[in-house]
Structure 1
Amino acid sequence: MDSQANSHFYKKARRRFSWLTYLLTAIFLILSVAQWISIQQLSASNEFFTEKYWVGSIFFAVGLVLFGLFIFFETLRFVVPLNWIFAIVIFECVVMGVASLVVRHHKYQFLLSFVIWSVTLGIFLLCGSFLPHDLTLDIVVLFVLAILALIGAMYFLMMHIVTNMPYSFFVHRGFVVCSIWMFIMYHAQIINGGKFAEMRTKDYLLSSLMLFHDFLLMFMLSFHLAPKWSDECDAHLNKTSMLIFITDPTPPMFWDED
């Protein structure tokens, strides 16, 4: 009887944890898109993040450092209200960091990309939840496949940059997305439980932030479609031209000599 009671209590706690995680992830997605739309539509904030794009980089870097601390120091995750304050600060830093990209994207492309990758996140969470194979037993295999995907992605990215190989960037993107999908399904299994490895039921803030970052990994690929240069960016082109190796010392001529 005690084992049955413990099993019932475990399943109830695990179900509550998984639903709370998915609810918080949905709230993070809704709050993030609401803030990005507001920043993009308000002229003052749009102009600020367009001209001072480096501010977003600082926010994003701070968010990643804080997220690393949140992962490795359990006290930050289990002490209330410190855990909530830390999670909110991490979330806001990441949102403000991505704002520097959002303001340079077209509104409807940005919203369409957000919807597509949100649905994709949900689909692969479902796939991981109902997949009969226990991915938590194969973490070494997943790690090796992720390394292979990283090598393939880097190679085809260089082919895109260096040789302008047709469709090479889409192959690069495919490698990246496939590796992300594997880990989304892995995360779904450690959240839902009942597998070899699982997250603790008090780690709902960490798990929801983890899924939100999974979404960001896919969503940020969409910004390749955004306009890369603006009038403000063109002014900085000469500052970075020294990083380009030019084999021909003769500068190209774009005008006819009289």
Structure 2
Amino acid sequence: MSIMFFLVFAVSSQIRKMACMNWVLTLLVIEGQILAIGLLVVKTNMLRLLIGFLVALILIVMSSLMAIFIPFDLTKYATMLFLVDFFLLVFCIYTITYLLILHLSWPFFLYAFIIVMLVLPIVMYHVQSVMGNGQERTGLKDDKLSALLLFHDFLALYMLTFYWRPTK
């Protein structure tokens, strides 16, 4: 439900302009995502949770700083960025196939690396569009949408923590 609310929120600019609906949908999306992750937290070791949180946080902060200081405008080449990300996603599906069918543990690390390489350029794209220095700019009315996009980018990296199951 949370993803559906986020999709409606992201697509409908009229809803984002309504102050009350803007806040309500933002809170519903965040709360729904946190509750869904809470179900996965119960099954995960606390040390892995902390390590995953710190790694995801460091990756987000480093990619945000890179996006701020690089002179290259990623927002100008959004189509190319999403095309490369699509091919990386297809490659991720093949690595999951190796993981599930062949019962190997090493493809998970390849999968995690590819997911990180898929998400970090998107984080940089979102940071540059929020900063407004590039071709694409996020408007002042879209502050909550920008926050939700970066929140979901963080979750995409943090979710890898819950599926890391080293073999015995």
TM-score by length of 1: 0.61
Structure 1 residue 98, shift from structure 2 partner? 0.8
Q: Which ranges in structure 1 are unaligned for 5 or more consecutive residues?
A: 1-61, 228-258
Aligned to 2:128: 189
**Which of the residues 6, 13, 16 maps onto 1:77?**
16
Aligned to 2:38: 99
Q: Are the aligned partners of 1:136 and 1:186 in contact in 2 as well (CA < 8 Å)?
A: yes
1:59-111 Cα offsets, whole Å, 9 max, x none, are: xxx00000001011122212122211111111101100111101111122212
Aligned to 2:153: 214
Aligned to 1:135: 74
Structure 1 residue 119, shift from structure 2 partner? 1.9
Computed over aligned residues only, the root mean square deviation of the Cα atoms, in angstroms, reads 1.5
Higher RCO (Cα < 8 Å, 6 or more apart):
2
Q: Are the aligned partners of 1:104 and 1:226 in contact in 2 as well (CA < 8 Å)?
A: no
- CA distance in 2 between counterparts of 1:83 and 1:202 reads 9
Structure 1 residue 225, shift from structure 2 partner? 2.8
Structure 1 residue 134, shift from structure 2 partner? 0.8
Structure having the higher Rg: 1
**Which of the residues 168, 171, 175 maps onto 2:114?**
175
Structure 1 residue 166, shift from structure 2 partner? 5.5
Aligned to 1:164: 103
Structure 1 residue 165, shift from structure 2 partner? 4.2
Aligned to 2:55: 116
Write the mapping of 1:4-153 to structure 2, written as runs, cut at 5 A.
Answer: 62-153=1-92
Q: Percent identity?
A: 27
Q: Are the aligned partners of 1:159 and 1:165 in contact in 2 as well (CA < 8 Å)?
A: yes
Amino acid at match of 2:139: R
Q: Are the aligned partners of 2:40 and 2:162 in contact in 1 as well (CA < 8 Å)?
A: yes
- CA distance in 2 between counterparts of 1:166 and 1:218 reads 19
Deviates more, 1:108-117 or 1:118-127: 108-117
Q: Are the aligned partners of 1:136 and 1:190 in contact in 2 as well (CA < 8 Å)?
A: yes
TM-score by length of 2: 0.93
Structure 1 residue 226, shift from structure 2 partner? 5.4
- CA distance in 1 between counterparts of 2:160 and 2:105 reads 18
Amino acid at match of 1:190: S
